[in-house]
Amino acid sequence: MTSARNHIDQLEPRTVVDPGAEVLIYFGDDPLRVYQLRQWLPVLEQLHRHHRVHVILRERATYEIVREVTSLPVALLRGFGELTEAYRLGRHKVIIYVNNSAKNFQSLVARTMLHVHVNHGESDKICMVSNQVKAYDQVFVAGEAAVNRHRATLIGFDDRALIPVGRPQLDLRPAPVLPPSPRRTVLYAPTWEGEEPSNNYTSVDVMGRRIVAAALAVPDTRVVYKPHPRVATSATPSMVAGHTAVLGLLADATRRDPGAGHTADLTGDILAVFPGCDAMVTDVSSVGLDYLYLHGDRPLLITDRYADPARLHANAPVSRCADVVDPSSVDDLTAVLTARLANDVHRHARAAMRRYYFGDREVGESTRDFIASIGSAIRTRDRRTHRREEWLRTSAVPLPTYLAPEAYGATKRGPAEDLGRDVPAVILDGDPSPGTPIEVTVLAAGLGTRLGMPFPKPLTPLSNGRSIIQQQLDNLARCFGDDAKVTVVVGFRPDLIMGAVPDVRYVFNERYERTNTSKSLLKALRASGPGGMLWLNGDVVFDSGLLLRIAPLIRQDESFVCVNTEAVGEEEVKYRVDRDGFVTVLSKTVAEGLGEAVGINYIASSDKATLIEHLERCTDQDYFERGIELAIDVGLKVRPVDISEFFVVEVDFTDDLERANEEVGKTVTSAA
């Protein structure tokens, strides 16, 4: 049984996240960057003893690596929907990020957790300070140097978010991998070339071969080459050539002197290499500072590929207490290494520099401070959550009764441009009687997790400069003028929507995080007047000519759903009809659907009570279509209205937004 289960586990990744884990570790990248997470895993295993931890990964290949090297629970959530659903179902309090991955943005959609960035090292590289840190609630750093680095680099960053914790990854030292040697060991540990020129600090391509040759020329030495993991996988021709040349030098030296112990370690843990080394040559990277922290009493040499000492000393303070190797001085490296192994003149200066980077912490104390800071973050999150819940309780009463100016911002307009078509302000044939109010509701309470915006999805800007909800309101005003009385159901960030479109009526769904559109529509119907009601999903971009098509049915007060018969998407709400042409089923699971619903619907005045009753029967997670289906079962007649001739798209994903912008952009003639 155990063998069979293990086999199943190997085939099927775990996709369930412990809902009771207080701390989540998020890592969205591929195996090339997995080293950034691996160095944290032993620390996180210690954290797990105090606060339950769960690791979330997004790539299958990364999952297969990580599950083999940690005792922590690990889950693979490849889809954005899986990720947000796990967050919704859990009681997680803090989520930790170990790098500046673009995929971190998807995880930042979670609003019930405190987001903590810890990075994967302490380095003077420019990539260590990113504007992305402004998105996190707290940013754990090593010490004073990192605090000053953020202050000097970022504009408008609140440095109160910076929490110095030292370098906990260095507290748990792996067993040494270099065998004892009577020779003195010189370690060459270069970094990779980075992802852009400004982040290129490597010496491999410009002087790697000369550095190794100089080290091999020092009498009575063993040379160890331990490059950054991405050096060995680089496809940059100059890096490939430099790396290959270094390997060739070491191979030749080993053939000449087999007992010297020269070696190249391309895959191991560099912390396991450190103990056997007497001096290190490295680039500007976290490796040099790690060596400073653990072995500050041993010579450290820093390379400068640009031969710009003023720039190097300004950007990498550690270089002020180290010998610097650049392309013009590398030929002197043999003499410099020989001298430093005999007389380390920078030793006392490095001790002071160690305090600047890491504080006065001894090895072992950083992990203590890290765990304590995570505990403090959990308590901070709980306090803030309590304050938010208090605000929601005290703010929930006024919002449903908020009334805007009488006109609700709608004014009659002449012919206006909308998605490339001129639409008259007055509907002649199907226009409801002048002065007859048309109740319209926009459902805008949701989190909009699939699109991944940090603000309500209806506020997503379109290529014509308007937001989605403003485009909807403009269309309604063009077609119905002052007769359209608009209500917006809000939930997530109501302040943003109310600030953007103040001249409407509002209803508040205070349970927006735990409910779906069935409950938002229910609140709107309960707050509506005696007539029928047209409602729109708050993410629908549509041609205002569509309103011309449905106006006669609104005038006749007949319940209907707008459908597109030219597309039947797998993820869309689909429908079928009976012999009389009325809808019989309406959901995402419909097989052989005749078309898809587009998110624009109308309930007749005589049908409202029935729909309200059946929306009340819906679960919190049901879409409003479920309420319609239940009402149909007891006799509600709902007609599908084919609006396929008009452009309409529900913006759920980025490709939907691209389609909307492409259509809108066809007629954008000015910045306005």
pLDDT per residue over 185-234, tens digit each? Answer: 999 999 999 888 888 999 999 999 999 999 999 999 999 999 999 999 99
Residue-wise pLDDT tens digits, 310-367: 999 989 999 999 999 999 999 999 999 999 999 999 999 999 999 999 998 888 899 9
Q: Is the pLDDT assigned to residue 406 strictly greater than 90? A: no
**Secondary structure (H, E, C), 47-105:** HCCCCCEEEEECCHHHHHHHHHHCCCCEEECCCHHHHHHHHHHCCCCEEEECCCCCCHH
Q: What is the pLDDT of residue 393?
A: 66
The whole-angstrom separation of Cα 570 and Cα 589 is 8
**Secondary structure (H, E, C), 430-468:** CCCCCCCCEEEEEEECCCCCCCCCCCCHHHCECCCCCEH
User: pTM for this structure?
Assistant: 0.58
**Secondary structure (H, E, C), 292-341:** HHHCCCCCEEEECCCCCHHHHHHHCHHHHHCEEECCCCHHHHHHHHHHHH
Q: Is the pLDDT assigned to residue 539 strictly greater than 80? A: yes
CATH class for the domain made up of 2-170: alpha beta
What is the Cα gyration radius of the chain? 32
Which residue is listed with tokens 């109501």?
494
What contacts 351, CB < 8 A, 6 or more positions away? 296
The whole-angstrom separation of Cα 202 and Cα 652 is 43
Q: What is the pLDDT of residue 421?
A: 35
Going by pLDDT thresholds of 50, 70 and 90, the confidence category of residue 109 is: confident
What contacts 641, CB < 8 A, 6 or more positions away? 549, 550, 553, 560, 561, 562, 563
**Do 2-170 and 396-665 agree at the fold level?**
no
Tokens of 101: 């991955």
Strand order of the β-sheet with 323-325 is 263-264, 221-225, 184-189, 279-282, 300-303, 323-325
What contacts 134, CB < 8 A, 6 or more positions away? 154, 156, 157
Average pLDDT of every residue of the chain: 87
Q: What is the pLDDT of residue 401?
A: 34
Residue-wise pLDDT tens digits, 484-523: 899 999 988 888 888 888 888 889 888 888 889 999 999 9
Residue-wise pLDDT tens digits, 552-583: 889 889 999 999 988 787 778 899 999 989 99
CA distances from residue 382 to 23, 53, 514 in whole angstroms, order as listed = 13, 17, 19
33: amino acid identity, one letter:
R
**CATH number assigned to the domain with residue range 184-362, chosen from the 4 options 3.40.50.1970, 3.40.50.2000, 3.30.1490.190, 1.10.1660.10:** 3.40.50.2000
Residue-wise pLDDT tens digits, 86-103: 998 899 999 999 998 888
Enumerate the domain spans of the chain: 2-170, 184-362, 396-665
CB 294 within 8 A of CB 314: no
The whole-angstrom separation of Cα 142 and Cα 293 is 11
**CATH of region 396-665:** 3.90.550.10
Going by pLDDT thresholds of 50, 70 and 90, the confidence category of residue 130 is: confident
Which residue is listed with tokens 């759903």?
561
CB 569 within 8 A of CB 588: no
Q: What is the pLDDT of residue 520?
A: 94
Q: What is the pLDDT of residue 499?
A: 83
